[in-house]
Amino acid sequence: MIIKINLIGRRAKPKPTTSRAQLLLFAGLLVVEALFLFVWYQKLSSELDTVKSRVKEANSKLDELKRVKQAWEQWQAEKADLDRQTQVFESLKAEQIGPPTMLEYVSYVLTKVPDDASGADELKAQELVGWNPKWDPRRVWLTSISQRKDQVSLKGEALDHEDVAEFYRRLQSSDFFHNVEPGLQTRKFHDTLQLKLVEFSVTAQLNYRLGTAGLLDEGEKPAKEGAAPASQGAALSVKPMGGPLGQ
């Protein structure tokens, strides 16, 4: 057997080497990336500070709005309580001055206005309200007036049915009387007077607050144009058949 020996040997492969240019390029890329990340971080930090400032400002405005809302709700509660007290006071005052003022109005309805120069303006006012200024109120007289809660009942006698109708019309012209309901009218003969009379009755709802609205203030309000004057200077609210006077 022959043994062969290779005396030349294998050629060694050269080791790869990194060039200086590649190292510089890599380092430059790292620097650029670091700068980009720093700038981006600064921008995000600035935006975050801006958002925090806006949030703080919004929270401050929200707290101020809450304080304003609480103050407004407290004012509303105090106003509602004051309104309730005012309504109670006006109701009590109306209940105090209402009955005599209502009776004074009824007395005025059944009072004859002088048919001369002294009563010309008053008769004109009555006509504007819807009354018959030529009617003689002495043709009707009341025999009783009774009240139960807010209901009033009036009974009386008249010379004729037309006189009763005029009396009803005058009651309806006042803010004191609402839902005026005429009752039965009965013919009868009065032996003493030797006259035929009409017995009548009427019921209505009373509203003292509305009827005495002009008297609930400290001073009297000026009378509305065309309103029928009240007897003895009382401020009486008068309206025509179709609605409040002046509308």
Please tell me which residue, 45 or 3, carries the higher pLDDT value. Answer: 45
The structural domains of the chain, with segments of one domain joined by +, span 33-247
pLDDT at residue number 202: 94
Q: Counting beta carbons within 10 angstroms of the beta carbon of residue 228, is it exposed (0 to 12), middle (13 to 18) or buried (19 or more)?
A: buried
pLDDT digits (tens, 9 = 90+) for 172-207: 988 889 899 999 999 998 888 788 999 999 999 988
Would you say residue 96 has pLDDT above 90?
no
pLDDT at residue number 243: 32
pLDDT at residue number 229: 38
* Structural class in CATH, domain 33-247: alpha beta
Question: Is the distance from CB of 224 to CB of 180 less than 8 angstroms?
Answer: no
Average pLDDT estimate for 66-70:
89
pLDDT at residue number 142: 94
Mean pLDDT comparison of 31-45, 73-87, 147-161, 233-247, highest-scoring range: 147-161
Mean pLDDT comparison of 62-66, 67-71, 115-119, 157-161, highest-scoring range: 157-161
Residue 183 to residue 203: CA distance in whole angstroms = 7
State the DSSP string of the chain: -------S-PPPPPPP---HHHHHHHHHHHHHHHHHHHHHHHHHHHHHHHHHHHHHHHHHHHHHHHHHHHHHHHHHHHHHHHHHHHHHHHHHHHHHHHHHHHHHHHHHHTSPPPSSGGGHHHHHHHHHHT--TT--GGGEEEEEEEEETTEEEEEEEESSHHHHHHHHHHHHTBTTEEEEEE---EEEEETTTTEEEEEEEEEEEE-HHHHTGGGSSSSPPPPPTTPPPPGGG----B--TTSSTT-
pLDDT digits (tens, 9 = 90+) for 99-149: 888 888 899 999 988 888 888 899 999 889 889 999 999 999 999 999 888
Task: Give percent of the chain above pLDDT 70.
Answer: 74
Residue 106 to residue 225: CA distance in whole angstroms = 21
Would you say residue 160 has pLDDT above 90?
yes
